[in-house]
Structure 1
């Protein structure tokens, strides 16, 4: 049995551990001092998104962060699956597929018209999961520019 459990403040230490493992996969810098305040924001303000723990057979095995945006092209509120992580040892069991099925009605309930995500090119299992779930490439390149101090 797979469930999405909305995260609360008490879950932050566990989520940070999941994030540390997730970021290590692709050698992303892990800065808990920068991440922790944003976890507090996402947990306390449903207008910017949602944060869930992934539960499998009564164990917390990962997390999913969904952040909201707005797009004329996509019909209003859209959302970005900002982070989606399942612990090693629990991958390949169909958990990701079930999480994405659980996510869609929750996103619709929040007024989301379109879901977006990005996936590393080398992550063939992730790419296949998302394609099988109905995600499609849009022949565009996602560009980023950090504008913080």
Structure 2
């Protein structure tokens, strides 16, 4: 299988959003994706993304990330989504994407790389442990959707 990993461009946003929706379905939460191609275009300065492209220009995977600041350590790279279509898993693509992310973290003087994984995603957890990741089971996510943000009161 011949593929190329490259930085995404605005022309890739439709395919990236398709992968995001596919990942959400895999994570049993397809109804939680509200993002659009138009929104991605408006907010593209907030994220970066690598895409995995076959020779026929079909995009089969991606790693979307952004830089964040954590008070305990400083500048960090946050990997929001790493996804490879099921038919293309097992070829080292996920590992190659992780290597590129860690190169980006080094080049940008990051003090931490962080991401989340669902506790039932055993294959992803195995990959991350193989790479040497510390998996923290103590912290819980606290999320507010757009409606909750607008209704927020203490």
Q: TM-score, normalised by structure 1?
A: 0.82
Structure-2 residue corresponding to 1:99: 97
Task: Tell me the residue number matched to 1:36.
Answer: 37
Deviates more, 1:126-135 or 1:50-59: 50-59
Aligned residue pairs total 145
The runs of 5 or more residues in structure 1 that have no matched partner are none
In the other structure, the counterpart of 2:48 is 50
Higher RCO by CA contacts (8 Å cutoff, separation 6 or greater): 1
**Alignment correspondent of 1:110:** 108
Contact 1:3 1:55 in 2 (8 A): yes
Partner of 1:123: 121
Q: Which has the larger radius of gyration?
A: 2
Contact 1:4 1:102 survives alignment (8 Å): no
Please provide the CA RMSD for this pair. Answer: 2.4
User: Structure 2 vs 1, CA of residues 147 and 125 (structure 1 numbering), >3 Å: closer, same or farther?
Assistant: closer
Unaligned 5+ segments in structure 2 are 148-154
TM-aligned CA distance change 1:142 to 1:2, over 3 Å:
farther
* Greater helix content: 2
Match of 2:135 in 1: 137
Encode CA deviations 1:95-138: one digit per residue, 9 max, x unaligned: 11121112211122233221111111111110011111121023
